[in-house]
Every structure is written in structure tokens, then in C-alpha cells.
């Protein structure tokens, strides 16, 4: 993985659920995020699927005329879960290869509501930032408080001495797509300071 110094952001990797979840707001905010990426001239890197929030996101970007790179393991293509049409689909062998390629292609990472995979992928990107393997922003789109329990757990890790406060600060949080994307663009624009939303 290449180290990424401050420069203009070009693509954002988004991790999100392969289902749409129990509340309609998740799909609504995912769609808004996709449109917001295109308005800012940012490309999308995501897991390549057509189901759940992944499909909502890719569809929003494609319909708005944006650039999409999907990265999907062959085993999921065979199950007909790959997004069909309008994107640059990269087929890899393993889940590990998927994460590594997504990390290389993206200038920042966003997690939307999702399950184990979403948390695992996002947490790995934060871990790599902690280790100094990249300097790319990592953020949660906290739709209607979805990530509140996770954030409370992170605070517990700090309180119990397992996570340093400066490491905890690597996890940016926003409650709406527009402020999240504004924060991202500021984070990688030379001479512009940005803070956790």
C-alpha cells in the first residue's frame, strides 16, 4: 500500500451493508452520500455489489454521472452479487485482496451502517492509520445514531487504557453526508485545517 501524503482527494472508499437495514433513513442517507460525492468530483470505490446499501450507493453515483470502481471477490461474482453495468469492476481472489486494493485506490474511507464486514473493513483502515501506513481520513456516517454504541465502545477502550486518545481521534464522525464530505475535502487540501465533525 502506498503512503498517501496531503493532496487533492480523488476517490473515496465506502464500506456499507449488503442489506438495506431496518430503517429507510439508511438508504436515503446512502443515496445522498453518493450524489454528494459526484457534486464534489469525487469517485467512489466500494465492494462491487448490487445488493443492499452497496447497490443504493453505486446506483446513486452512476445515475449522477460519477465514477465508480467496484472491487469484488470472484466467489461473490459467482453468486450474482456483482453490480452490473456502468462501473469499473475489479475482480479479485480473496477478501484480503479486496481490502488492499480498495485501500490503494482510495484517498479516504467512510463507513455507513452495516454488519460485521463493514466494521471489520473500517476498523482495519483505522488500524493502518494508527500504524502510520497511511494518512487518509477515516469517518463514520452516523445515521440517526446508528454508530452511537460503537462510539461508546471506543470511548470504553480509551477509558480502559487500550486505545490512546490521539488514536481514538482518528475516527471522524458526521451525522449527515454533506458535512462529512466537506470535512474530507478539507482534510486533504493543503493549508486547510479540519476537525472531527
Residue 80 is predicted with a pLDDT of 64
- What is the model's pLDDT at position 189? 67
Q: Which residue has the higher pLDDT, 183 or 79?
A: 183
Q: What CATH number is given for 11-187 in this structure?
A: 3.40.50.450
Mean pLDDT of 106-117: 96
Nearest to 75 by CA among 53, 58, 98, 55: 98
Question: pLDDT, tens digit, for every residue of 129-177?
Answer: 999 999 999 999 999 999 999 999 999 999 999 999 999 999 999 999 9
The mean of the pLDDT values for the chain is 90
At 183, which helix (H) or strand (E)? helix 177-187
Percent pLDDT > 90 in the chain is 82
Contact status, residue 91 vs residue 67, Cβ threshold 8 Å:
no
By the 10 Å C-beta count (0-12 exposed, 13-18 middle, 19+ buried), 197 is classed as: middle
* Dist. CA 185–CA 197, nearest whole Å: 13
- Return the percentage of the chain with pLDDT > 70, whole number: 91
Structural domain boundaries in the chain: 11-187
Q: Which tops the pLDDT comparison, 113 or 2?
A: 113
**Residue carrying the nine cell digits 471477490:** 73
C-alpha cell at 25: 433513513
Model's pTM, two decimal places?
A: 0.90
Instruction: State the pairing for strand pair 109-111/138-141.
Output: parallel
Using the predicted structure, report yes or no on whether residue 197 has a pLDDT greater than 70: no
- 97 vs 91: CA distance, rounded Å: 10
Q: Is 6's pLDDT higher than 70?
A: no
Average pLDDT over residues 168-197: 78
| pLDDT of res. 83 | 86
Hey, what's the cell of 6? 496531503
Sheet holding 43-46, edge to edge: 88-92, 68-73, 43-46, 11-15, 109-111, 138-141, 171-174
User: How confident is the model at residue 187, as a pLDDT?
Assistant: 81
| Contact present, 142 and 175 (Cβ < 8 Å) | yes
DSSP H helical ranges for 20-164: 24-39, 52-63, 74-77, 95-105, 116-130, 148-159
The whole-number pLDDT of residue 82 equals 86
Amino acid at each position: 500500500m502506498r503512503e498517501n501524503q496531503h493532496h487533492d482527494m480523488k476517490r473515496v472508499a465506502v464500506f456499507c451493508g449488503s442489506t438495506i437495514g431496518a430503517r429507510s433513513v439508511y438508504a436515503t442517507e446512502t443515496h445522498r452520500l453518493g450524489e454528494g460525492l459526484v457534486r464534489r468530483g469525487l469517485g467512489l470505490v466500494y465492494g462491487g455489489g448490487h445488493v443492499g446499501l452497496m447497490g443504493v450507493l453505486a446506483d446513486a453515483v452512476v445515475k449522477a454521472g460519477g465514477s465508480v470502481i467496484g472491487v469484488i471477490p470472484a466467489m461473490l461474482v459467482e453468486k450474482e452479487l456483482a453490480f452490473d453495468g456502468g462501473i469499473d469492476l475489479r475482480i479479485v481472489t480473496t477478501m484480503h485482496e479486496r481490502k488492499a486494493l480498495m485501500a490503494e485506490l482510495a484517498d479516504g474511507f467512510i463507513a455507513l451502517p452495516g454488519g460485521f464486514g463493514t466494521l471489520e473493513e473500517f476498523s482495519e483502515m483505522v488500524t493502518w492509520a494508527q500504524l502510520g501506513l497511511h494518512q487518509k481520513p477515516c469517518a463514520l456516517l452516523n445515521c440517526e445514531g446508528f454508530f452511537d454504541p460503537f462510539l461508546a465502545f471506543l470511548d470504553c477502550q480509551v477509558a480502559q487504557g487500550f486505545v490512546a486518545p490521539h488514536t481514538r481521534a482518528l475516527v471522524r464522525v458526521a451525522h449527515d453526508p454533506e458535512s462529512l464530505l466537506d470535512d474530507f475535502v478539507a482534510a486533504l487540501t493543503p493549508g486547510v485545517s479540519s476537525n472531527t465533525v
